[in-house]
Chain A
Amino acid sequence: MRWLIGMLGLLAVMMTVVVATSLAHALHPPSNVEVIDPLRLHLEGEFVESNLGAARESDGSVTVRLLAQQYSFVPRCVTVPADTPVKFRLTSADVLHGFLLVDTNVNTMVVPGFVAEVRTRFARSGDHAMPCHEFCGLGHAGMWAQVVVVPKDQFPDSSPTQRLRCAAH
C-alpha cells in the first residue's frame, strides 16, 4: 500500500512536469487539425509549387512550406534564419511520410489529407539532414532533404511574395 502511494506520487511529479513545461515553455504536440485535398495540391491553395519554400511573414517570422510525396520533399533544400520563429507546414500528396530534422526536436507525421505544422526556433546555424522517417514505399530510403540554418543577418531580405529555396549541396 505504501508502495502504491509512493508510485502514485512519482507519477504525479512527472505529470506536473509535463503540465508545467507545457505552460511555461509552450511545449505542445501539434494541435491544429486542418484538412486539405491531396490530389489538388498542385492546382490551387497553399501548396502549389510557386508557394513552396521559405516565406518571410510581416511579423518577421518565417513560414516554410514543404510538400512530401513518393519519393521526395519539395523543395529539397530550404534556408532559414537562426534566432527567428520558424513555422514548418507540410502535407503529403499521396501516402504517409515523416518529417524529422536531425539534431532537433522538429518531428512530425505528414498525413495525406491533413496539414502538419511544427513551430520552432533555431538557436544555432548549421545544416540539418531531413530524412523521411515513415515507410512510404520502395523508395523510402532515398527520401532525404535538407534544412540549412544561417545566421539571422545572412538570411536574404525577401519580399512577401518571394519563396526561397537553397541550391542542394
Chain B
Amino acid sequence: MPRISRLALAHFWVAFGLFLPAVVLGAWQMLVRSPWSAPLADSNAYYISVSLHGTVMAYVMTTFFVMGFGYTVAATSLARPLRGRAWAWLGFGVCLVGTLIAAAVTLLGHATVLYTFYPPLLANRWYYLGVFLLVGGSMIWVVLMIVNMLGWKRDNPGKPVPLAMFAITATAYLWVWSASGVAAELLGVIGPAVFGATTQIDAGLARTLFSVTLHSIVYFWLMPAYIAFYTLLPAAAGGRLYSERMARLVFIMFLVFSLPVGMHHLFADPEHGDGFKFLQAFFTFFVVLPTLMTVFAICASLEIAGRARGGRGLFGWIRTLPWDEPMVLATGLSLVMLGLGGLGGLVNMSYAMNSMIHNTSWVTAHFHLIFGGAVVIMYFAIAYELWPQLTGRPLRSQRMARWQLWTWFVGMLILTVPWHIAGLLGQPRRVAAFDYAMPVVARWAPWVDVSVVGGAVLLVSALLLVLTLLRSQGGTRSSVIAPLRYALAVHPAARVAPALNGFALWNAMVLVLMLAAYGYPIGQFLFVLKPHSAPAYEVTRPAPQGLSP
C-alpha cells in the first residue's frame, strides 16, 4: 500500500491542485457573463479563461484523477504490488509536461480555441503538442491496467478478476477507443495544418472525428464514480453489493455503447444525413441502460445496508444509513444530480427536443450538473475514502468533508438549474459579454444572477476540499488506519463466465459497432464528398521577422 501512495498522491495532487484555480476561473466567468461588472472583464481574458477552465476540468483533472485511482485500484484490489511502477512514473511525467505546456501556451493567449478546439480555428502548435502528450502519456496507464489485469488472470486461472480491477480495465479500454477520435483529428487534420503542410482544413471531418471522443470521454470520467458506487459504497454503508454479475454487465455495456453514439453531438450539423444521426441516437438509448441498472443496483445495495442497521418499512432503511460517511452522503447527493442531469441528457439525445436547446446554455448547464456535479462529487468522495490509506493519516475531518460535499451539491444546483432555464429561453453559449439592455437578453438576467451565486458557493466548496486534503495529509501519522475494503457481493461468485471476466468479445463488438456507426460518416469525407476545406484560422499569428507587432 505505501508503495503506491506516492504515485497515487502525485496524480491526485495534480488533479486537485489545478482544479482549484480552474474553479476560480469558472466563478469569475459567471460574473463576467452577468449584468454585474467584473474585474478584468474583456473578451480576450474571458476566452482565455474558458479555454483554460475547460482544458483543465475536461482533460487534466479527469485524466490525472482516473490514472491515480486506477493505480490505487490495481495495487489494492489485486492484493499485490503494481507491475510497471517505473513506467507509471514515466507516464505521469509525460502527462504533466504536456499539461504544463498546454496551460502555459493558453495563458499566454496563443491557444484561445476553447477546450473543443474546433477547426478551422487553430491554436499554436504547442497547445496541441501538450494535449497530445497528455493523452499519449495516459496510454501508458492504459497498458499498465491491462497488463496488471492479464498478469493476475494468468496467475489465478479460472478465478474472477476482482470487480474493481475489471471495471477500471474496462475504463482503460474505453479510454483508448475514445481517445482514438481526438488522436486521429490531431494527427490527420490539425497536425498537417499546424505544421505547415497545408493551409486548408476540413472542418466537417475534424468535428466528426472529435465527436468519437466527445461523448465517450464522459464515460471515461464517469466510470471511477460508478466503480465507487459498486465497490466502495456498499462497504462504507455497512452492506453488500446487490449483484456482482449486474455490475460487470454494467461496465461492459458502458464499454460497448459509449462509443458509437458521438453523433448526437452532431445532430444539428449539415455534414451528415439523418440516417446515421438516427442510428447513433438509437444506440444512445442503450447507453442509458447501464445507468438505470446502476441506480437500481445501488439503491438495492443501500437498502441491504439500511435494513441491516434496523431500517423498517418501505423507506425506513434510508434514514438508518450512515449518512455521516462521506462516501454515503456523496452517493445520495450524486444520485439526485444524476437524476436531474440524466433527464436533461434524455432531452439532448432526442433530436426533436435537442433542436430547441442545441448550443444554448442548457448544454453548458447540463454537463456542469451531470459531470461537475454527479461525477466530480464522487471524485471527492473517493479522495476522502483513499486519503487515509494513501497518507497513513486519518481524514481531518469528516465533518469538513461533509460540509464540502453539501456546499458542492447546493452550489451546483444553484449554478445549473437557472442556467438550464436560461438555455431554454435561448441564451447562446460561449458569449463573453451580454448586453442586458436588449429585451431578449434582459429576460435571462434574473437566472444569470442566481447562477453567479452558485459559482461563488462552488468556489468556497473547492477551497474546503483542498483544505481538507491538505490538513489530512499534514496531520500526524496513525497506525490504526484500516486497510481499504472493497464491497463483497451478496452472493460472491467463485466462478464467473469468461465473457464477464475479459474483454476480447466486447472489444470485437465495439469494433463492429464503430464500423457500422462511423464507417461511412468518416469515410465520406475521404472518398465521397468533393473538396470542401476551408482555410485554417490561426487565432494568433507570428509577427514577421524584423517587424514589431
Could you list which residues of chain A lie within 8 angstroms of chain B, going by C-beta atoms? 3-4, 7-8, 10-11, 14-15, 17-18, 21-22, 27-39, 70, 92, 94-96, 98, 100, 102-103, 105-117, 129, 131-141
CB contact under 8 A between A109 and B529, given known A7-B289, A92-B534, A94-B537: no
Residues of A with C-beta under 8 A to B440 = 102, 129
Q: Are B270 and A33 in contact (CB under 8 A)?
A: yes
Chain B proximity of A55: nearest CB distance (Å) = 20
CB contact under 8 A between A140 and B534, given known A30-B274, A111-B204: no
Select one of B350, B355, B430 contacting A135, CB under 8 A. B430
Residues of A with C-beta under 8 A to B204 = 111, 113-114
Complex Cα spacing A33 to B355, Å: 18
Residues of B with C-beta under 8 A to A28 = 274, 351
Complex Cα spacing A29 to B44, Å: 34
Select one of A29, A115, A129 contacting B438, CB under 8 A. A129
Residues of B with C-beta under 8 A to A27 = 351-352
Q: Are A107 and B359 in contact (CB under 8 A)?
A: yes
Please give me the residue from chain B that is nearest to A120 by CB atom. Answer: B355
Q: Are B534 and A109 in contact (CB under 8 A)?
A: no
CB contact under 8 A between A133 and B270, given known A14-B346, A113-B202: no
Binds A, one of B2-10, B178-186, B280-288: B280-288
Q: A32-B273, A131-B428, A135-B121 are in contact. List 9 more A-B contacts (CB 8 A).
A: A3-B296, A10-B292, A31-B272, A31-B277, A107-B268, A107-B358, A113-B271, A133-B430, A141-B434
Complex Cα spacing A36 to B533, Å: 9
Interface positions of B from 343 to 374, Cβ below 8 Å from A? 346, 350-352, 354-360
Proximity bits, B324-357, A CB within 8 Å = 1, else 0:
0000000000000000000000100011101111
Complex Cα spacing A139 to B202, Å: 22
Q: Are B431 and A33 in contact (CB under 8 A)?
A: no
Could you list which residues of chain B lie within 8 angstroms of chain A, going by C-beta atoms? 43-44, 47, 112, 114, 118, 120-121, 202-204, 207, 266-275, 277-278, 281-282, 285-286, 288-289, 292-293, 296, 346, 350-352, 354-360, 425-426, 428-434, 438, 440, 524, 529-535, 537, 539
Please give me the residue from chain B that is nearest to A15 by CB atom. Answer: B285
Select one of B351, B429, B433 contacting A134, CB under 8 A. B429
Q: Are A35 and B537 in contact (CB under 8 A)?
A: no
Q: Are B43 and A21 in contact (CB under 8 A)?
A: no
CB contact under 8 A between A39 and B274, given known A29-B268, A107-B359: no
Please give me the residue from chain A that is nearest to B205 by CB atom. Answer: A113
Q: Which of A92, A102, A115 has the most B CB atoms < 10 Å from its CB?
A: A102
Complex Cα spacing A121 to B176, Å: 45
Q: Are B537 and A137 in contact (CB under 8 A)?
A: yes
Q: Are B356 and A31 in contact (CB under 8 A)?
A: no
12 A-B pairs in the complex with CB atoms less than 8 angstroms apart? A11-B285, A18-B352, A28-B351, A31-B274, A38-B534, A94-B535, A105-B355, A110-B270, A111-B271, A113-B202, A114-B271, A135-B118
Q: Are B207 and A111 in contact (CB under 8 A)?
A: yes
Q: Are A138 and B44 in contact (CB under 8 A)?
A: yes
CB contact under 8 A between A33 and B534, given known A111-B203, A111-B271, A133-B430: no
Chain B proximity of A105: nearest CB distance (Å) = 4
Q: Are B355 and A29 in contact (CB under 8 A)?
A: yes
Complex Cα spacing A141 to B44, Å: 11
CB contact under 8 A between A33 and B537, given known A105-B356, A140-B432: no
CB contact under 8 A between A15 and B118, given known A107-B356, A111-B270, A117-B270: no
Q: Are B359 and A96 in contact (CB under 8 A)?
A: no
Complex Cα spacing A116 to B271, Å: 8
Residues of B with C-beta under 8 A to A113 = 202-204, 271, 532-534
Q: Which of B281, B286, B428, B440 has the most A CB atoms < 10 Å from its CB?
A: B428
Chain A proximity of B268: nearest CB distance (Å) = 5
Chain A proximity of B102: nearest CB distance (Å) = 18
Select one of A15, A22, A103, A138 contacting B47, CB under 8 A. A138
Q: Are A34 and B270 in contact (CB under 8 A)?
A: yes
CB contact under 8 A between A36 and B532, given known A112-B120, A129-B426: yes
The 10 closest A-B pairs by CB, nearest first: A102-B426, A113-B532, A112-B534, A133-B428, A35-B532, A31-B274, A133-B359, A116-B270, A135-B430, A131-B428
